[in-house]
């Protein structure tokens, strides 16, 4: 069994995994970080998005062994203690979720969009960038509003930084 080691939400972790173990399985089953969800087996839904070395990655698409040595941030690592990350707060404020299953992946993707595209996001950009994240409940309207608001809030001080 390969041993993997990585930094997850600011902590050094190690584990023995099978060669076929996916990163999402390592996070959920070895580390019990169950905020990262599995919503499909076709790499389409985006419920499993985490950040690997600062970039959004569908954690069902890479092996745990491939992520060894990386810095990973999951939804559990986004808040600053009791203070929600601005994008999390915006989802709450703008009712950007219903059942919540897609929400961790939506939020991790949203933070990545802001990191790449800046704090002023128009609706077209947000909808285009969300192509890899599916939601069965909301119709996306409030998700788009929440991401636009969260992006703006990330540009204001003080900003809660992810542990990456």
Please give the residue ranges that form the binding site for ligand FES (CB under 6 A).
38-40, 43-48, 58, 60, 97-102, 135-138
At its nearest, how many Å lie between ligand FES and the CB of residue 38? Answer: 4
Cβ proximity to ligand FES: between 43 and 120 the closer is 43
At its nearest, how many Å lie between ligand FES and the CB of residue 155? Answer: 26
Cβ proximity to ligand FES: between 48 and 52 the closer is 48
Please give the structure tokens belonging to residue 131: 């192509």
CB atoms within 10 A of CB 100: 12
Distances (CA, A) of 38 to 29, 47, 105, 129: 12, 6, 10, 20
Give the CA count within 13 Å in the CB-facing half-sphere of 35.
Answer: 16
CB atoms within 10 A of CB 115: 15
Cβ proximity to ligand FES: between 41 and 157 the closer is 41
At its nearest, how many Å lie between ligand FES and the CB of residue 14? Answer: 24
């Amino acid at each position: 069994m390969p041993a993997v080691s990585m930094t997850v939400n600011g902590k050094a972790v190690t584990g023995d995994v099978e060669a076929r173990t996916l990163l999402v399985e390592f996070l959920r089953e070895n580390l019990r970080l169950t905020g990262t969800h599995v919503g499909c087996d076709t790499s389409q839904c985006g419920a499993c998005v985490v950040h690997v070395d600062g970039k959004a990655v569908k954690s069902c698409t890479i092996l745990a062994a491939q992520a060894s040595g990386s810095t990973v941030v999951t939804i559990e690592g986004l808040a600053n203690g009791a203070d929600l990350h601005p994008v999390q707060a915006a989802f709450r404020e703008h009712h950007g979720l219903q059942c919540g299953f897609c929400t961790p992946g939506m939020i991790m993707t949203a933070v990545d969009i802001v990191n790449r595209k800046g704090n002023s996001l128009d609706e077209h950009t947000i909808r285009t960038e969300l192509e890899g994240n599916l939601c069965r409940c909301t119709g996306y309207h409030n998700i788009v509003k929440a991401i636009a608001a969260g992006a703006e809030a990330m540009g204001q001080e003080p900003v809660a930084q992810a542990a990456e």
